[in-house]
Amino acid sequence: MSFALYNLVVKLFLVTTLVVPGGQGLLQGQKLDDVKASYTQTLDRRQELVTQLHQYEENYRTLLRQVDVLKSGPNTLQNRLELEGLLRDSRQLAQRMQTLQKKIQAADTRLDNQRSQLVAAIDSRTEVLEKKLAKTAASERGTIVSELNELRAERQRFSEPLPSAPTDGEVSETLAMLEELDGASAEDLLAAADELQDTEDQVRKRLQAIQGRIKQLREAKMLARRAQTFATEESFFDETDRSRFIATYGDSATAGDRSGDGANEAPTVGDESGGARDGYGEAGDEAESPQPGAGMDPNTDGDFNAGAGDDSDSLSDSPEAPPAAPEEPGDSTGGDSQDGDVFGAGDDLLIDGQTDPETSVGSGFESDYELNSRIQQLEREQERLQEQARELEKKAGQLRKRAKDSLD
C-alpha cells in the first residue's frame, strides 16, 4: 500500500513539473521563498548571539576593572577572597564568550551555505523566467521583466563578498614590531611569529578568493563574447526581432497623381498586357498603333501630352487608354502605390520602433572593457598580496628560528 502511494506521489510530481504549464517555475519559486526564509531566520539568530556576546564583553570588562581595583588595594583576606571570586567569575564568563563565538562562527558558516543556495535558486528562477519571456506576448511581458529585475537586484545583494585582508598600513605595523623584539624571550618571539602567521592567513585567504574571482571573470568574458556573437548571428536571420526597425511607407497621393506619376514605368517582365504594373503606362500588343504618350522621353516627368493640359485628364479621357488593372494581391508595402519615385512628396514614412521588453532587463553580461578593467585591478591586488604573504612567511620563519636558537 505504501509503495503504491509513493508511486502516486511521484507521478503527481512529474505531472506538476512537466505537464502543467509553469509548474516547474512555481516549485522553483517556492524553493526560493523557503531558502530565503531560512536565511532570514539564521540571520536573526546570529544577531541575537552577537548582541548577547556584546553584553558578555561589557560584563567581562567590568570584572577586569574590579580586579584591577582589588589588586591595587590593601592585601587583606577580604580583598583576596573577593579577588578570587572575581577571577572565577571572569573565567566562567570567558568560557561563555568562547562558546558564543563558536556558535556565531557556525551561524556564519550556515549563512554562507544558505547564501550560495539563494544565489543558485535565483539563477534557476531567472533562467525559467527568461525562457518564459521569450514565449510571452509583448503586451504581457511587463510583469516578467519586473520580476527579473528584482531577482537580479537580490542576487547582487546576496552575492558573497571577498574576504577582508589587512591593509598595507596594518601589515607594515606588524612587520615593524620585529625591531622591538631584540633580546626578547622565546615565548615572546613565538607569540610574535603566531601573530605574523595569523596576518599571513588572512592575506592568503583573500588572495585565494581573488584568484577564484579572476577565473570567474575570465570565463564570463569568454561567455560574453560567445553570447554576443550568437546574438548577432541570430538577430541577423531573425525577421521577427522586435529590436529591428520595420519601415512601411504610406502613400497619401491621389489616384490621379499616381496615374500620372506611374505612367513612365517600364513594363515588367512576363506582363501579358505589355504594360506597366497596376495598369498604368502603355497597353495592348506591340503590333498595334502606339498609344498617346508613346515614344515620349521618359525623363519628362510624366508629361505625355505637352501643352494639352493635365496629363492625368488626357489619359483618363482618351478612348484608347486602358482600364486600370486590379490591384495585385499580397502587396506588402503597406501603401497603394508602386511608383518609381518611392520617396515622393506625398509619402508618409512610418517607423515601428517598439523595443523588445526582453532587452530592457539586460543581457547579464558586462562589456569587454568593464571585464578587462576588473581583471586588471584584481591582478594588481593579487601581485601585492602575494608579495605581502611571502614577506610575512619569511619573517615568521625567522622569529621561530630565533626562538629555537634561544632555547638551545
Express each pLDDT in 159-218 by its tens digit.
766 666 677 777 777 777 776 677 678 888 888 888 888 888 888 988 988 888 888 788
What is the pLDDT, as a whole number, of residue 134? 81
What is the pLDDT, as a whole number, of residue 5? 54
Give the tens place of pLDDT for each residue, 35-62.
888 888 998 999 999 999 889 888 888 8
My answer on whether 297 and 258 are in the same domain is yes
pLDDT at 32 over 50: yes
Burial 282-300 (b: 16+ CB within 10 A, else e): bbeeeeeeebebeeeeeee
Confidence of residue 240 (pLDDT cuts 50, 70, 90): low
pLDDT at 12 over 80: no
Cell readout for 342 is 518611392
Confidence of residue 339 (pLDDT cuts 50, 70, 90): very low
Residue keyed to cell 592568503: 204
What is the pLDDT, as a whole number, of residue 48? 92
My answer on whether 358 and 342 are in the same domain is no
My answer on whether 270 and 229 are in the same domain is no
My answer on whether 63 and 141 are in the same domain is yes
Q: Does the residue 211 lie in any domain?
A: yes
Q: Angle at CA 108, nearest 5°, toward 107 and 110?
A: 65
Q: Does the residue 339 lie in any domain?
A: yes
Give whichever of 74-78, 245-249, 297-301, 306-310 has the largest mean pLDDT: 74-78
Q: Does the residue 292 lie in any domain?
A: yes
Structural domain total, the chain: 3
What is the pLDDT, as a whole number, of residue 241? 53
Cell readout for 159 is 552575492
Pick the more confident residue, 366 or 368.
368
Q: Does the residue 91 lie in any domain?
A: yes
- Our measurement of the distance from residue 2's CA atom to the centroid of its chain's CA atoms, rounded to an integer in Å, reads 46
Tell me the torsion sign for CA atoms 238, 242, 243, 247: positive
My answer on whether 67 and 90 are in the same domain is yes
Q: Does the residue 285 lie in any domain?
A: yes
- Our measurement of the distance from residue 40's CA atom to the centroid of its chain's CA atoms, rounded to an integer in Å, reads 24
pLDDT at 139 over 50: yes
Please compute the mean of the pLDDT values over residues 306-330 and round it to a whole number.
Answer: 45
What residues have CB less than 8 Å from 311, skipping those under 6 apart? Answer: 260, 263, 302, 303, 304, 305
Burial 148-168 (b: 16+ CB within 10 A, else e): beebeebbeebeeeeeebbee
My answer on whether 121 and 58 are in the same domain is yes
Please compute the mean of the pLDDT values over residues 272-278 and round it to a whole number.
Answer: 43
Compute and round to an integer the Cα radius of gyration of the chain: 42
Q: Does the residue 165 lie in any domain?
A: no
My answer on whether 143 and 32 are in the same domain is yes
Least confident of 18-22, 38-42, 351-355: 351-355
My answer on whether 178 and 311 are in the same domain is no
pLDDT at 14 over 50: no
Q: What percent of the chain lies above the pLDDT cut of 70?
A: 54
My answer on whether 39 and 129 are in the same domain is yes
Confidence of residue 122 (pLDDT cuts 50, 70, 90): confident
pLDDT at 226 over 60: yes
Q: Does the residue 191 lie in any domain?
A: yes
My answer on whether 241 and 293 are in the same domain is no
Domain with 36, as residue range(s), is 1-160
My answer on whether 297 and 395 are in the same domain is no
Phi-psi region of 292 (alpha: psi -120 to 50; beta: other; left: phi over 0): beta
Least confident of 29-38, 88-97, 157-166: 157-166
Asked if residues 210 and 382 have their Cβ atoms less than 8 Å apart, the reply is: yes
What is the pLDDT, as a whole number, of residue 383? 92
pLDDT at 403 over 50: yes
Q: Does the residue 397 lie in any domain?
A: yes
Give the tens place of pLDDT for each residue, 283-292.
444 444 444 4
Query: Of 109, 133, 160, which one is at a domain's C-terminal end?
Result: 160
Please compute the mean of the pLDDT values over residues 106-113 and round it to a whole number.
Answer: 87
Mean pLDDT, the chain, rounded, equals: 68
My answer on whether 262 and 230 are in the same domain is no
Please compute the mean of the pLDDT values over residues 260-288 and round it to a whole number.
Answer: 44
386 forms beta bridges with: none
Pick the more confident residue, 109 or 250.
109
